[in-house]
């Protein structure tokens, strides 16, 4: 999948009106995710993504391996997106599901291993709700 296909897929799935907004949404999610995980893990995960998308997780991140929970992740993504936190959370879930389809299973599992998913911990399980429900699918036609 190339950059245009990736951004087009995100734009379609999130029903965003403009490419610029779509790129901002992708950048917000992947930069913030790249900030949370160690640099080596970000490199592994991003390696199968289009070069321009890969950069958001690697080159655009000034400090990898920061420790923050799901709520802080959503706040950071919402700030970058300039969006409501509930919209930003949904956008992140859909983008992570698309990333899952583009990367080796072992690299995606490595991501999950980096993010505690229990409610007692940091509750990162919420990031994987679309993935865990079987992945994104086209809405049924009425």
pLDDT, tens digit, for every residue of 46-71?
999 999 999 999 988 989 999 999 99
Q: Assess whether pLDDT exceeds 60 at residue 141.
A: no
3-19 mean pLDDT? 95
> How many structural domains are present in the chain?
1
| Domain span at 7 | 3-132
In a domain? residue 36: yes
pLDDT at 135: 86
Cα-flanking dihedrals φ and ψ of residue 66, to 5°? Answer: -70, 150
pTM (predicted TM-score):
0.91
In a domain? residue 57: yes
pLDDT at 117: 76
Cα gap 34→20, rounded to integer Å:
21
Single out the residue of 95, 132, 81 nearest to residue 9, CA to CA.
Answer: 95
Q: What angle in degrees, to the nearest 10, is found between the helix axes of 3-14 and 85-102?
A: 140
pLDDT at 140: 46
Cα gap 45→66, rounded to integer Å:
17
> Domain containing 118 — which CATH number?
1.10.490.110
pLDDT at 142: 41
């Amino acid at each position: 999948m190339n950059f245009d296909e990736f951004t087009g897929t995100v734009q379609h799935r999130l029903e965003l009106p403009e490419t610029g907004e779509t790129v901002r949404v992708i950048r917000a999610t992947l930069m913030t995710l790249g900030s949370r995980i160690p640099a080596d893990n970000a490199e592994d995960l991003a390696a199968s993504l289009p070069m321009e998308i890969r950069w958001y997780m690697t080159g655009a991140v000034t400090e990898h391996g920061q420790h923050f929970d799901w709520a802080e992740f959503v706040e950071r993504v919402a700030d970058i997106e300039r969006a409501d936190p509930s919209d930003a959370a949904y956008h992140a879930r859909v983008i992570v599901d698309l990333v899952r389809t583009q990367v080796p299973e072992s690299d995606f599992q490595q991501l999950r291993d980096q993010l505690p998913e229990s409610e007692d911990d940091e509750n990162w399980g919420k990031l994987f709700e679309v993935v865990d429900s079987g992945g994104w699918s086209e809405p049924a036609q009425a």
